[in-house]
Structures are given as C-alpha cells and as structure tokens.
Amino acid sequence: MCIRFALLLGAALALGAPAAWCIPSPSLDDGSDSSAPQAGPSAQDSAAYAEALALMKKADGLEAQDAAAHDAYASARARLQALTARSPQFAEAWNALGYTQRRLGAYDDALAAYGRALELKPGYREALEYRGEAYLRLNRIPEAKRAYLDLFAKNRTIAATLLEAMQTWLKVQQGAHGVDAAVLTDLRQWVQERARIATQTAALTRAGEAASWR
C-alpha cells in the first residue's frame, strides 16, 4: 500500500522542497492528541525528509519484489535513520522510517519506529494505521484489532485503510502456513462485522466516513 503522502503535506514549500513532497510542520494538525507547540524541522532536515519521501514514492510505484524497489526503500531508510539520529524529535521522520522498515520486512524495527513517533505525537493517526499493518505481518492479531478500533474512534477514513489491509492480508493467508485456521476465521468474521458497523454508522457522522472524530 502506498504511503498516504497527501496527509503529510505541510508548510515547508518555503524551504524549497519539491511541490509534490512538502515537509509537514510538527505543529500542523496530523491527528495527534498533543496540543503542545513544537518547533518545525530545520531546512536541512526538511530537505533530507523530502529526499526520503521521494525515494519511498519511487519504491511504491514499483513491484513489491522488484530489486529496484528494495534499493529505493533501503536508501530512504538510510536517510531517515541518519535524520532521526540527528533530530530525534522529528515524529514524521520516525513514522516514515517505520514505513521503510515495514516495506523491507523488518517488522519489529518498524514497530519500534512507530512507537517512537507515537511517543512524540500521541494519537498520530498515520503511525497508528501503519503500526496496525505491522502487527498483521507479525500475526499479532489482537493488537491489529485494537489499532483499528483506536482509529475508528478518531478518523473513519484511515480506519478503513487498515480494515482494507486486513482484508488483503486475509486473502494472502489463504492456503499459507504459520497462522492457525481458527484465528483466521475469527479475524475474517471480525473484519466483516466491523465493515458492517462502519457502513451502518457512516451516516451518523458529520461527514460520513470521512469525518474526523476528536
């Protein structure tokens, strides 16, 4: 699944980042629960972040098993590791680092990066969704369910993205080994139930499924 770059658009156009990959100011509304003001990234950090996002976009546009995609994700990860080491308070960079780790199959490292992003910005919606997908890859089903429920209470659109990822994951697991059949059956029923609930309650929100609950 492609990273939702549109949700990361921010005020860094003034810093010279390419128009398609603006750098978000940590003080912009990203769904976090923290109201404490934070300083924005420096021009150097913004440029490094933009370079990483461009590499991630390139990789997302390639086949998942393509060697070029792996190399692009790996290059983005290296840039983000250097960035988070230099600027450990840059929550968006931690979130993006978690994305590259997950795409490279380093799921535990991805969870650690998402966890750091959420420490910096509690309730960070994109990090919650990505972490839910990482839980799936590790067969940590109860935690993936909890991630969805947390998102459903905050933003229906992003919650729907995680639910879709669960549906895709279930299809991949058909005939695969490593996950108990009863667990898959339970999750499949749970996903179907949650999809029905989302459909039934969408009309009750202010703007249907796109409503953001606070």
- In order, the DSSP letters of 66-131 are -HHHHHHHHHHHHHHHHHHHH-TT-HHHHHHHHHHHHHTT-HHHHHHHHHHHHHHSTT-HHHHHHH
Q: What stretch(es) of the chain map to CATH 1.25.40.10?
A: 1-34+41-124
Q: How high is the pLDDT of residue 66? A: 86
- b/e map 6-33, b = 16+ CB within 10 Å: eebebebeebebeeebbbbbbeeebbbe
Q: How high is the pLDDT of residue 148? A: 95
- The percent of residues in the chain predicted with pLDDT above 70, rounded, is 74
Look at 49 and 7; give whichever has higher pLDDT. Answer: 49
Q: What's the predicted TM-score (pTM) here?
A: 0.73
Q: How high is the pLDDT of residue 205? A: 55
CATH entry 1.25.40.10 includes domain 1-34+41-124: yes
Asked whether residue 41 carries a pLDDT value surpassing 60, the answer given is: yes
pLDDT, mean of residues 118-145:
94
- Look at residues 68, 107, 79, 70 and name the one whose alpha carbon lies nearest to residue 21: 79
pLDDT in tens, 138-157: 999 999 999 999 999 889 99
